[in-house]
Structure 1
Amino acid sequence: METMRLGEYKLTWLRGGVTHLDGGAMFGVVPKPLWSKKYPVNEKNQVELRTDPILIQGNGHNLLIDAGLGNDRLSEKHRRNQGVTEESFIEEDLKKLGLETSDIDAVLMTHMHFDHANGLVKKVGENEVPTFENAKIYVSDIEWEEMRFPNIRSRNTYWEQNWKPVQNNVYSFSQEVQPAPGITMTRTGGHSNGMSVITIEQEDELLIHMADNMATHAHQNVLWVMAYDDYPIDSIKVKEQYMDIGYNNEAWFTFYHDYKYRAVQFDSSGNIQNKVLREK
């Protein structure tokens, strides 16, 4: 498991599953000859995308960013269409760290699309119950509303089975919340209307987790947004804002989906000066 430290906090990437989605959809209107130079693609025109939650430990807290694919929660059709080759090993990884699911204090949900939210729920016998039984689930109120009342487009990714079992654990917020000292969730919109960006500030260090507003390092260009984005112009605006903040502060950017990088640190010119690579 890859780790990095930022001030009082230690970050560890857990294995939450692997999907392979259409490369054209992942890069929207960007021509394949351009994006394929930055991100590898297979013979089916699919790109590998991790679904790996980030465990944040420090200041007496055990937090997760997003929840992975979960286990046995996808139909064969979904597994095929999403190119799933691996499901979650989060519980096994937590055990290696001396933790149980009951030790997780909160799950910070950037948004509730199934590839981020499936792991919130697990099956125990015939019942579906919260995976992280003691965790408060933070999500913006707009995202939580659409999760429960999806529209004709979003119902394909906002699933009832991912919210009903955890509804009593949810804490929704309107614009901003601080689940732990120095950690802030801010609703920005973009990829989804209720999308949240997570930042960690520690003295002169800054970390930005943009989740699917910048799904991989290859999406660094502010105009490279996904066809999956519900509000692509908002995605561009969010990227412009946070890339500017990140460059000026030489911030770390972390990833949930990237096949190669767990985190990259950009200099003021937007060049990668430090990185945390995924171990293979």
Structure 2
Amino acid sequence: MQETSFIVIRGNSMRLDGGTMFGNAPKALWRKWIQADERGLIDIASNCLLVRTGDHNLLFETGCGAYLSPDMKARFAVKEETHMLLHALAEQGLSDSDISHVVLSHLHFDHAGGLLSAWEPDREPELLFPNALFVVGEEHFKHSKSPHYRDRASFIPGLAEKLQATGRLVLKQGGERLVVGGLAVEFFQSQGHTPGMLSSWIQAQSGTVICTGDLIPGVPWVNLPITMGYDRFAERLVDEKKLMLDRAVAEDALLVFPHDAAHVAARVEHDPVKKRVMPAKVFETLNMV
């Protein structure tokens, strides 16, 4: 197998309501895990996994990006004005045109907004990554084109049509694989957060890396009962999360989280006291071969 490297790079960051991010968990509990400001807002990162294998550069997730108008940036407390993902790629000696595959767990704006150019007055954002295949779950893609009233505000109007028009859209289902260079990506489909979301199980010579998507947005959500208010079907998500965590323990997999501002990844183990899987080792950064 070819040598494969993994590095977590950061896109634009936001702040969201902590109560919503922790669903039915009381504030007295979740404040032990994460700090909130006087308005109850917590830091939300855009952690994107860059995987380099042979001549291929794969990007898993793109974060919220910089496409939002100033009033929408204020609503979601987006901190940076410029497109931070493009800056992060440049630090790795790459541009968006060097990316061969963009793999998206789902098309909510905080995962797919980085696909678009930064906001400019009187100009519609353009789709970036001109040479990439865009890999999305087939069921979720259909849902994104006609979402439910409950979650339609999470989608970017017109993005699905932009992706389709490229001729480079690759739709996958759960259990299917993507083989690129020195790695194979197996897709795990879930319904709890949003219909048809795909988590990526990346098999490389160095081991298994799992891009959790919003099944587990960060270290605190490794706790099995903890879900988000944004989740469509919380109990189903818990069942799906258990499947992921049990397999992660069995394969000693590394979990990469999309939204944790403090820790981008973790390894997990079975906790005999809590009698469920819990973090064993957490990572503030990730850059490994």
**TM-score normalized by structure 1?**
0.89
Asked if the contact 2:222/2:278 (under 8 Å) is kept, the reply is no
- How far does the alpha carbon of each residue in 1:214-242 deviate from its partner, in whole angstroms, 9 at most, with x for none? 11100111110001001212211111101
RMSD, aligned CA? 2.1
Q: Which among 104, 107, 111 is matched to residue 112 of structure 1?
A: 107
Asked if the contact 1:14/1:89 (under 8 Å) is kept, the reply is no
- How far does the alpha carbon of each residue in 1:122-162 deviate from its partner, in whole angstroms, 9 at most, with x for none? 26984543210011111111111111112212220112232
Could you tell me how far apart the structure 1 residues matched to 2:209 and 2:268 are?
Answer: 11
Q: Which among 191, 194, 206 is matched to residue 192 of structure 1?
A: 194
Q: Check 1:189–1:177 CA distance in 2 against 1; reply closer, same or farther (3 A cut).
A: farther
Counterparts of 1:101-250 in structure 2 under 5 Å? 101-122=96-117, 126=123, 128-167=125-164, 168=166, 169-175=168-174, 176-180=176-180, 181-203=183-205, 205-250=207-252
Question: How far does residue 261 in structure 1 lie from its aligned partner after superposition?
Answer: 0.6
Could you tell me how far apart the structure 2 residues matched to 1:21 and 1:82 are?
Answer: 6
Question: How far does residue 47 in structure 1 lie from its aligned partner after superposition?
Answer: 1.0
Question: How far does residue 80 in structure 1 lie from its aligned partner after superposition?
Answer: 2.3
Query: What one-letter code is carried by the residue in structure 1 that aligns with 2:215?
Result: N
Asked if the contact 2:58/2:103 (under 8 Å) is kept, the reply is yes
Could you tell me how far apart the structure 1 residues matched to 2:116 and 2:206 are?
Answer: 37
Query: What one-letter code is carried by the residue in structure 2 that aligns with 1:172?
Result: L
Q: Which among 32, 36, 40 is matched to residue 35 of structure 2?
A: 40
Could you tell me how far apart the structure 2 residues matched to 1:186 and 1:242 are?
Answer: 9
Query: What one-letter code is carried by the residue in structure 1 that aligns with 2:153?
Result: N
Query: Hey, what does 1:20 align to over in structure 2?
Result: 15
Paired residue secondary structure (1:163): helix
Counterparts of 1:48-67 in structure 2 under 5 Å? 48-67=43-62
Query: Hey, what does 1:4 align to over in structure 2?
Result: none
Paired residue secondary structure (1:259): coil
Could you tell me how far apart the structure 2 residues matched to 1:59 and 1:189 are?
Answer: 33
Query: Hey, what does 1:74 align to over in structure 2?
Result: 68
Structure 1 range deviating more: 232-241 or 171-180: 171-180
Q: Which among 263, 281, 284 is matched to residue 274 of structure 1?
A: 281
Query: What one-letter code is carried by the residue in structure 2 that aligns with 1:224?
Result: I
Could you tell me how far apart the structure 1 residues matched to 2:236 and 2:71 are?
Answer: 31
- How far does the alpha carbon of each residue in 1:102-121 deviate from its partner, in whole angstroms, 9 at most, with x for none? 11001100000011111112
- Quick one: percent identity of the two aligned structures? 26
Query: What one-letter code is carried by the residue in structure 2 that aligns with 1:166?
Result: L
Could you tell me how far apart the structure 2 residues matched to 1:211 and 1:124 are?
Answer: 25
- How far does the alpha carbon of each residue in 1:34-70 deviate from its partner, in whole angstroms, 9 at most, with x for none? 1110122111111101012211111432011111222
**TM-score normalized by structure 2?**
0.87
Asked if the contact 1:217/1:261 (under 8 Å) is kept, the reply is yes
Q: Check 1:77–1:56 CA distance in 2 against 1; reply closer, same or farther (3 A cut).
A: same
Task: Report 1 or 2 for greater relative contact order, CA contacts < 8 Å, sequence distance ≥ 6.
Answer: 2
Query: What one-letter code is carried by the residue in structure 1 that aligns with 2:102?
Result: V
Query: What one-letter code is carried by the residue in structure 2 that aligns with 1:30?
Result: A
**Structure 1 unaligned runs (5+)?**
1-6
Q: Check 1:156–1:229 CA distance in 2 against 1; reply closer, same or farther (3 A cut).
A: same
Structure 1 range deviating more: 193-202 or 120-129: 120-129
Could you tell me how far apart the structure 2 residues matched to 1:220 and 1:19 are?
Answer: 21
Query: What one-letter code is carried by the residue in structure 1 that aligns with 2:239?
Result: K
Asked if the contact 1:14/1:53 (under 8 Å) is kept, the reply is yes
Question: How far does residue 262 in structure 1 lie from its aligned partner after superposition?
Answer: 1.2
Equivalent residue pairs, number: 272
Query: What one-letter code is carried by the residue in structure 2 that aligns with 1:275?
Result: V
Structure 1 range deviating more: 162-171 or 239-248: 162-171
Q: Which among 240, 261, 264 is matched to residue 263 of structure 2?
A: 261
Structure 1 range deviating more: 137-146 or 151-160: 151-160
Could you tell me how far apart the structure 2 residues matched to 1:162 and 1:186 are?
Answer: 23
